[in-house]
Structures are given as structure tokens and as C-alpha cells.
Amino acid sequence: MTIDGDVLEIELDMELDDVCELKEFVATRLKYIEEIIFVGGDEEFATSSLFSLLFSIKKTKPSIKIPLIDEELFTFKNFGKVYWKT
Amino acid sequence: MDINKLKEIFVEEATEIIEKLDVDIINFEEDPEDKELLNELFRGVHTLKGSANSFGFSRLGEFVHHFEDALDYYRSSDEQITSNIIDVFLESVDIIKEVMEVEIEGNPDLPHQYNQCLEEIKTLLQKKDTQEEKSSPTQSDLDNEGTNNTDEVNIEHLKKELIEDESLFRITLNLDDDVYFRGFDHSKLFKLLTKEGYILESHWDMSNIPDIKKFNPETSYITSIVIYFVSKEDEASIKEIFEYLDDTEYIFEKIYTSTKEAPITIDKADIKFGRREEDKEATAVTPKKGRRKSDIHSYVKIDTNKLDELFDSIGELVIAQNFLAENKDIQIMKNENITKTINILSKTTRLIQNRVMSLRMVPINDTFEKMKRVVRDASKKVNKEISLVVEGAETEIDKTMIDSLSDPLIHIIRNSIDHGIEDNTQDREKARKSPIGQVTLRAYHKGGKIAIEINDDGRGINKDKVLEKAKERGLVAEGAELSDSQIFGLIMQPGFSTADQISDISGRGVGLDVVRTSIEKLKGKVEISSSTGKGSTFTILLPLTLAIIDGMLVKSENDTYIIPTLSVIESFIPQKKIVHTVKDKGEFVDLRGEMIPIVRLNELLESSENRPNIWESTLVCIESENGKFAILIDDLIGRQQVVIKPLGYTLSGIKEFSGSAVMGNGEIALILNVESLWGSKEGKN
Amino acid sequence: MNEEGKRELNQDSSRFLTFFIDDEQYGLNISHVKEIIASMNITNVPKTPDYIKGVINLRGAVIPIVDVRLKFGMDERAYDINTAIIINEIDNVSIGFIVDRVEDVLSIKHSELTEPPKFGTNVDTSFIESVAQINENVVMVLNLKKIFEQSELVDISNIEKSENDN
């Protein structure tokens, strides 16, 4: 997890503990973050909690850009297509 | 970019599309339920039409236009596509190929069958017009695919992804909000599922997620996830995955099983063809990989010349790195950091070298796919029912070899169907074989080489007949003793054809010798084995790549030469008692009872007139098309993978050498062309 | 010099890389010279004429090497520090020439080039395209194409024959 200017870079394979940490990190700095992107290769997601958090962030700050969930359709390397319903 | 460059790109792309049409049509015939294939065909043709017209290739455009109409009709109707229609499709592709050629050449003539084929296509369409009014599908139908979320339509769409024996399951997860606390996670289910099959889609309901102030990462807010999952496993074993869940937390339904389709109903007189029951295993080995939507990769096209240049540069890098590693001044320094760095450098260089090598490798699948058409055509022509089994299609082979491999394969396959498989089913039944002839294409790695086998379960090669014919044609001297493999090898001699009557398929004046020559050009060889009544196997052995060979380094008169290890049987220093000189015939070594002629390399290459005692020199025993022989050299240096370089235009006329190789130390050694070393001594010209 | 001046110069003169064999100075049109390298290890190729010394590996390319002395019918001479290999290229075919010593690049006006004399040198004059008198020296300009042609060991009939062999 790194922050580059106003872009937060995170990994898809973070564990629940990391998600807790991320939540704490983001909650206090949400003002400064404009975009959340994923870095790294083709890891699989380790917890669905991460996606919940992303949607929670989006709900709190609709202007934030999160490419992974902004698209209605997203394709995982090993898990096929993902459709988000909000 | 100038118009010629654009044209070049068009031609390349069009050729690719056209080749794929063939393959898609054949695959469609095997699996007529797969409408997605028809869609793909349609898209290919559609693209072709667009670019043909933009280049003013009006004849191509016109033809493709009608072909597109026909495809468009069938992809949106439920009408059975019969074998006859498939024939028209295939014929159309042939015409497209021909029109393409005349267009490129600027030739004003139309291909022979152009109008006739066009009429056939139009007839197909007229039939449909008289049937009923059909809703004309539009491009938007295509565009809507996949994004349509209406469940039923979606399932219909997903069904198309399935192949034989696979079932589509719908799993609805309504996990309680304490799942994480229980040490469980949706991700675990996803991972477990992918062990049993693959996930096509998942639909996540994220509508109940609170804002960040109320958000607790350890609570699940995901209302539900609907997963569309494909597997060959039975329901019970998949259900095991959910054993940690409460019954209320999931719904597991099987919604569809892809049933095995019977071959297309066709007239009895027609030859059936395609994958059958016994091919199941082969199918399982190679699922329709390339077409999975979830396999999203991006590709870059690279000119192979650029790869070669890259490879050359890396060769130089290896040499420079070797130079550093062996540099005395550096070694004297005994500096641990430098040694470490040089080791890293050496590892990295080799890594890069391997990676670049692997860029040249492509699966043989595409070539094998093309052979389906060949089998279909050939089986129809000689009226024999043939089933083609393909194995190991994922085996990778040097890109530069792929192109030169098609023709030999086509030739052998036609030969197998024409001469190998029995002429009628009664003969097969008498021999207790299935009435359907089987041809197997198999690719695999064999000791640092690629082996491609073409096997038929036909009558086998009749050794006596071959030998008789060879003697008749003066290919073998009367009374010559030949081993089985030598006899089988005769059928690849120029001017040899075993068929009593030259048929249209394989015996067009040129025989299997063409196969041999083209495989030898690839630095490979062909082995034939056969057993009477049971069938024959042609095995093409190829080096892993054309850029590197495994070579045996030998010394003769202070020069280093390379003998391709592929041809070497063994090397040894003979005992005096097994060496014989036969008057007027030359020198021989008695190797376990076999008299093998000796070729003195220095004399053959005219590099000196020294005649060392044979029992004090090293002999390298070679297997060549002309039989075994032993090369006499001064010394064996070792075995090495070497990078092959052509000897260049200036020196390519020296038939004793097939090329040169840059060795690890950057120096060049010449590669001996074993086929000409012995032939030239025999003076067979 | 302005652009126009340059073009004029290019039109009525050419640049030549000159080198020495014994005391004679020769020139090669620079447009065909790819590079000059110090003499290096040459791999002998059997069944070739003496003047083909073998092949070298030049950054991955295999290039045949002709010893110009032998080609011109002179005696072989041990290589020394001045010995150089000039890599020439015509129609994508490269050949290296071993020469005693490389000299300057000279601009020679076309008007200064004359027909080669039929006498007065120890060399087979068929390789000499023209000669030029530069100050005290005579520079003999070599006909590269001719040397290339004669260095080709393959003639068409040979290729055809070996193809029939297969």
C-alpha cells in the first residue's frame, strides 16, 4: 500500500488485517485521496471485505475514482467476469 | 504510412482471418451447437469484407459479402447446418483464398469456381427466403451480447461457453455477516471452486454497504453473490466445498449440462468425419482454451527478424559476460563483490537468453487445427471414414519451423489416409478393427527434441513390396541386407511410390521424399515404424528450435567442428581388432557385428593427408539417411548447445557444412552436414 | 560550406578508404565500407580457395574473410599490429578484406580518376577499376563487385546440382 500524490495504490491480495489497516488509513485521509488503483500482477483477491470497503469509500466520497468498481463489469484473471450491483 | 505498407498489413491480417475461417468451420461441424463459433466466423468475414472493399478488392468484397449474408442467416436461425452446407462454406473459403491471391497479384481473371460457388451461396440464401420471413439481425445484436443481464438470456449465452460433458451451475451465496469472524471468506469459496472447474461470472450485490464511518471490515455487508460456475465434476463433489456453510447461506443449482452431440446427420453415402467417442480423452487434454472470455491476455505482434536481432545481441552479451567471468585480471582481484556481481550477471544473461528463446515458441495447435480440414478433404476424396485424434497440441515449437511444417504434415496425413488406411471397411472388420479409420496426430517432447507423430491404424507398410519396388527402381542393390527402418526409409527416396495406382491424393509424382527434404531443412529427421496389419507411425523429430542445436564438438586437424547430436549414435575409440580394411572398398569398423564404413574427416575436408591409426583415433558413429557410418576425428571436445548461424551466401555452396555456430567463447565452428559426408564418399551421383 | 556547395562536391568527387598492401595504395569506395576492425581469430573453412581465410563472428553475423594479398597473388605475410579487416557490404552480403595497413579517407575528384594501366603493377589488374594520382602517390581504386563475384564459391550450376542430390 503506497500513496503517490493523491493516488492510493493497493494490492488485490491483501488480507483481512490489511483491510482493517487500510480502512483506518483511508478514513482519516479520505479528503486527500482522489483515486484508488490496484498495483501488482495477477494476484487473486484474498478477502471480499476489501471490495466492501471500496464500495463503502465510494459511497462516502462519490467523486473518488476506483477503476475496479467504477466499471459495471470487471474481469478477474482466474474468477471470470464480475458484475457489481449497487 | 504508405499504401503498400497498409496493403501488406491488410494481406497479413486477411490471411490470418482466412486461415481461422477454415479452422472455425471444421470445429463448428464437430460442435454444431456452438453458435458462438458461427458468430466468430461471421465477425471474421465481416472484417474481411470491410478491409477488402477499402482496398478496392471488389471481387473479394463481393464474394465475401454474399458469404457473410449466408453466415448471418445461419447464425440467427435454428436451421440445421448439414454437411452439404459445411461443404459450401469450405469451398467458399477456398475461393476466398484464391480471390485474395488474384487481387494481390492484380490479375484480372476470376478464380475457376468463383461464379459457381457464388451461385451455391445464393441458392442457400434463396432457400431461406422462401421459407419464412426472418428478423434480420443487426450488428447491435452482437454488441448486446454479454452485457445483457436478463437472467434467462444470460444463461442462454453462458451455455454457449460450455463444451462436452461440462455442466453449468448457479451458486447463490447469502453469507451471514459474521463470515469473516468464522474464519471464512468469499474468496476461499472462489478459490475452492476454481479447483473443480472455472467461474464464468459472478454478480455481487453491494447495495447494503454503509459509509465508511459505520464500516467495519470484519463484518460482511455483501448481500449476495451469484456465481455461474462450470465444471465436469458431479454435484456431490462440488457441494463438499460448501460444507462449512449453513444450509441457509447458499443455494446450489445445476442449470444445464452440455450434452454430447451426435455427429451431424448426413446421408449414408456421405463420409462422416470428426471427433468421436474415442476422442474424448484427447478433447479433455485441450479444452477450447483460446476462446475463453475470461482468458484476457494482450498480445503484441513482433517481426521475427527483430527477435533474431535481439537474440544476436544477447548472444554477444553472453560472450561479453563469459569474457568477464574468465578474465584473469578480475580473478586475481579476488573481490567478493565483483565475483558475486559477475555471477548475477551470468544468471541474468542466461535468463534473458531463455526468455527470448521462448518468445519464438508457439503452440503447435494452430497447425494441428489446420490438419482437420486436410483429413476431412482427404477422407472424402478416397471415400474412407476417418477419425482424427489430436494430442499434445499445446506443445510449443519454434515459430520459424511452424510454417515449414504444414506441408510435410499434410503430405504424411494424406499418405496415411490414402495408402495406410484399408480401402474398405470389410478389410478393417476382417482385421477386427473399428470400421472408422483412425489417424492420430501427437506432439511431445522427447529428449530435448520435439517429436510429432502421425499414426494410422491401417494395414501397415508391406516390407517385401517396398523392397521389391526399390530393387525394381534400382534404389537398392540386389542382395543388399537392410534393416526394417532402412526399408521403411526407402519410401522417402525420390521417385518411390508404393501405391499401385497413383491416386489424386498423395501420389502426384512427388513422393514422400519431399517430406524428408523439408524436414531435413529444419534440421530434423523422419523415422518410420510400421507393423503389418496394425498401422504405421511417421515420427518427425525436430530440434527444439532452429536457433540452437545440441552439438557434439569434435577436433580434426586443429579445427573444431560440430556434429548435430541428433545424428550421433555413439562415439568410441575402436580396438585394433575390430578395424578392417577391405580392398577397393575402404575402411570399416565392426560394431557388434555390423560393418560400418569409416570416413576420415581430414581427408574428406581436404584439410590434410595425415592418416592416423584408426585404433588411436576417435570414431563418431552417425545415423544418416544413407545408412550408418563412422567419422574419424582426432578428438572429442564435448557437447554443447550452440547458436546456429547460416554460413552466408558466399560459402553456402560447400555441401559438407550445413551452417556454422557461435560457441560460448564467441568463436565460430562449422556444423557438419552428416547427410552429405557419407553420400559424397559413396559417390552416389 | 552551404548545402549547394556540398552537393556539388558530392557530384564530382567520391570518398575512398585507402589502405596499403606492401607499398601500393588502394582505395575502396566508402559507401560500401561498413567498418574496420582489428584482426581477430578466424575460423578456417575447408574446401575453399587459399585466399578465403575463413569466417569471423562479428556481433553475431558470420562473415567470410578474404586475404587481399593472396587474392592478388602475393605472398602471405604474418599479421601484425597494423593488420586490419575492412568489412564491406554490397546487396546485404558482407565480406571482410585483410589488408596490411589502413590509411586515410580521401576525396578524389572523378576527373582525377583514369583508366588503370595494363602494366606496372604486380597485381592482377582486373580488380582495378581506375587509378588516381594524388600528390606523389598513385591510388588504385578497387572494383568491389568484381572481387565479390570472384569470391563467391557457389556458381549457379553447383547449387542446382546439390539440390538435385537431395
Per-residue pLDDT reduced to its tens digit, B524-542: 888 898 888 889 999 999 8
Torsional sign, CA B299, B302, B307, B308: positive
Q: Radius of gyration over alpha carbons of chain A, in Å?
A: 12
Over pLDDT 70: what percentage of chain A? 98
Least confident range from B139-143, B196-200, B293-297, B488-492: namely: B139-143
Q: Is C10 near chain B, with CB under 8 Å?
A: no
Instruction: Please list the residues that pair with B253 across neighbouring strands.
Output: B170
Instruction: Look at domain B376-543 and name its CATH class.
Output: alpha beta
3-state secondary structure of B389: strand
Is the CB of B185 less than 8 angstroms away from the CB of A16?
Answer: yes
User: Rounded to whole angstroms, how far apart are CA atoms B312 and B244?
Assistant: 57
Grid coordinates standing for B393? 497440441
3-state secondary structure of C87: strand
Q: Is C46 near chain B, with CB under 8 Å?
A: yes
Q: Which of B201, B220, B294 sits opposite A48 (nearest CB)?
A: B220
Report whether CATH 1.10.760.10 matches the domain C13-152: no
3-state secondary structure of B313: helix
User: Rounded to whole angstroms, how far apart are CA atoms B261 and B37?
Assistant: 15
Residue B481 CA to chain centroid, in angstroms?
Answer: 37
* B376-543 and B548-682, same CATH topology: no
Torsional sign, CA B307, B311, B313, B317: positive
Q: Which of A55, A77, A80 sits opposite B202 (nearest CB)?
A: A80
Chain A partners (3+ C-beta pairs within 8 A): B
Q: Cα-Cα-Cα-Cα dihedral of B209, B215, B216, B218, to 10°?
A: 30
Q: Give per-residue pLDDT as tens, B620-676.
A: 999 887 788 999 999 998 887 777 787 877 787 788 888 888 776 678 899 998 888
Extents of the domains making up chain A: 2-83
Q: Which fold has domain B3-142?
A: Four Helix Bundle (Hemerythrin (Met), subunit A) (1.20.120)
Q: Give per-residue pLDDT as tens, A33-62.
A: 888 888 876 678 888 899 999 999 988 888
Of B577, B575, B595, B574, which is closest to residue B586 (Cα–Cα)?
B595
Extents of the domains making up chain B: 3-142, 146-257, 305-359, 376-543, 548-682
Residue of B nearest to A57 (CA): B212
Is the CB of B654 less than 8 angstroms away from the CB of C165?
Answer: no
- Assess whether pLDDT exceeds 90 at residue C101: yes
The pLDDT assigned to C55 comes to 93
Amino acid, res. B374: V
Instruction: Look at domain B548-682 and name its CATH class.
Output: mainly beta
User: Rounded to whole angstroms, how far apart are CA atoms B354 and B350?
Assistant: 6
**For strand B437-446 and strand B386-391, is the pairing parallel, antiparallel, or unpaired?**
parallel
CB atoms within 10 A of CB B131: 10
The pLDDT assigned to B320 comes to 76
User: Rounded to whole angstroms, how far apart are CA atoms B152 and A37?
Assistant: 34
Instruction: Give the residue-averaged pLDDT of A7-36.
Output: 87
What's the gap in Å between the CA of C95 and the closest CA on chain B?
9
User: Rounded to whole angstroms, how far apart are CA atoms B537 and B440?
Assistant: 9
User: Rounded to whole angstroms, how far apart are CA atoms B599 and B591?
Assistant: 15
Over pLDDT 90: what percentage of chain B? 11
Over pLDDT 70: what percentage of chain B? 86
The pLDDT assigned to B230 comes to 87
Instruction: Look at domain B146-257 and name its CATH class.
Output: alpha beta
Q: Give per-residue pLDDT as tens, B422-475.
A: 888 888 888 888 888 999 999 988 766 789 999 999 888 888 888 888 888 777
The pLDDT assigned to B129 comes to 57
User: Rounded to whole angstroms, how far apart are CA atoms B346 and B478?
Assistant: 58
**For strand C93-99 and strand C61-67, is the pairing parallel, antiparallel, or unpaired?**
parallel
- Beta strands (DSSP E) in B557-655 are 559-564, 568-572, 579-582, 586-591, 594-600, 618-624, 627-633, 635-645
Cβ contacts of B649 on chain C, cutoff 8 Å: 93, 152, 154
Q: Which of B312, B650, B667 sits opposite C43 (nearest CB)?
A: B667
Of A42, A35, A51, A40, which is closest to residue A79 (Cα–Cα)?
A42
The pLDDT assigned to B560 comes to 92
Cβ-contact C69, C76 below 8 angstroms: yes
Cβ contacts of B679 on chain C, cutoff 8 Å: 165
When scoring B313, B633, B649, B678 by the number of chain C Cβ atoms within 10 A, the one with the most, hence best to mutate, is B649
Q: Is B652 near chain C, with CB under 8 Å?
A: yes
- Assess whether pLDDT exceeds 50 at residue B143: no
- Assess whether pLDDT exceeds 70 at residue B392: yes
Residue of A nearest to B206 (CA): A86
Cβ-contact C95, C109 below 8 angstroms: no
The pLDDT assigned to C158 comes to 39
User: Rounded to whole angstroms, how far apart are CA atoms B320 and B65?
Assistant: 58
Q: Do chains C and A touch (3 or more CB pairs under 8 A)?
A: no
Q: What are phi and psi of B634, to 5 degrees?
A: -80, -40
Cβ-contact B275, B189 below 8 angstroms: no
User: Rounded to whole angstroms, how far apart are CA atoms B592 and B608?
Assistant: 31
Q: How confident is the model at residue B275 (pLDDT cuts 50, 70, 90)?
A: very low
Q: Give per-residue pLDDT as tens, C109-153.
A: 888 888 877 665 555 667 788 888 887 788 889 888 777 776 654
Average pLDDT, chain B: 79
